[in-house]
Amino acid sequence: MGKYVFFILSIILVCVASFAEPLHIGIASIVSPDESLALYYDFNNYIGNKLGMEVETIIKRDYDVMNRMIKDSAVDVAFICTGAIAALDESEVRILAVPEVAGKQSYRSYIITNKSFDIKNISDLEGRSFAFTDRLSNSGTIYPSYLLIQHFNKSPEKILRKIYYTKSHDKSIFLINKGVVEAAAVDSLIFEFIKKKQPEKVENIKIIYTLPEMTSPPVVASSHISDEIFNKIRYLLLNMDKDPDGVKILKFLNIDRFVEAEMEDFNVIRKISETVEEFNSKNNPQKLQ
């Protein structure tokens, strides 16, 4: 009898332990890792507290690494870039929501330069140094590359004198503000956030080109999580703007609210990404540094 009771208790404890598994939230850092942690600390804890689960935050500078973690079920939920979602399909990921900022569920890519440089338009970028962010970043690499290809009919490395990959939009903004690099492509949401919170960090910058709007970077769930958890998290996100604690966090992040989105909303950037890859492949580009 004692052994039987012990066996039952062991099963119960194992079941409880399985439910106590923390929620792994991944962040493909569009800003530097330290900034990402500071920005999303309260947000992630809010989700965990509402679900009654511990949260483990995983930050990766490389978007492709975060994509692989989503595919491998190493993270449950992730904040990723629009370009990164274009590299995933519906069997690997589900979209929870996208942020609405200033009444829009979209954002843009800014082409920026330092005010001291004689760069007024896209044509002036030829022969200049340029900062992209991550190779999978839509606003920081993919869409700007498409713009350059359309304008010059050459791949970026044949247009630009030197290319840098900074891995974060705030670093690109920093380099332009200091005049270290001549031009860069950055996320409009990040630029406007920094401009609002720390205007001195963009005081030497001018925007020379604004690309068309595209769907905002999504919050996604790995396909392995249950429908129950998926629906709970989606409900929390879509109703944060109705909860006093949620409103405080959204305000800090400069987000109005979260809204629904589907994979089809990212078809345009998927096509743009494919066009850039095809053009570069045909033109045999040298390896970028």
Tens-digit pLDDT profile for residues 38-66: 778 889 999 999 999 999 999 888 899 99
Q: What is the pLDDT of residue 159?
A: 96
Q: What is the dihedral of CA 172, 176, 177, 179, to 10 degrees?
A: 140
Q: Residue 29 is encoded by which pair of tokens?
A: 């850092």
- Determine the Cα–Cα distance for residues 260 and 190; give it in Å rounded to an integer: 21
Q: Which one-letter DSSP state was computed for residue 199?
A: G
CATH class (in words) of the domain with range 106-214+272-282: alpha beta
Mean pLDDT of 26-48: 79
User: 68-113 pLDDT, tens per residue?
Assistant: 999 999 999 999 999 999 889 888 999 999 999 999 999 999 999 9
- Determine the Cα–Cα distance for residues 254 and 125; give it in Å rounded to an integer: 31
Domain extents for the chain?
2-102+217-264, 106-214+272-282
Note whether 77 and 233 are within 8 A (CB): yes
Residue 76's SS3 state is coil
Q: What is the pLDDT of residue 15?
A: 43
Find the length of the chain: 289
Q: Residue 97 is encoded by which pair of tokens?
A: 């929501």
What is 2-102+217-264's CATH number? Answer: 3.40.190.10
**Identical fold, 2-102+217-264 and 106-214+272-282:** yes
Note whether 141 and 132 are within 8 A (CB): yes
Reference 32, options 167, 137, 139; nearest CA is: 167
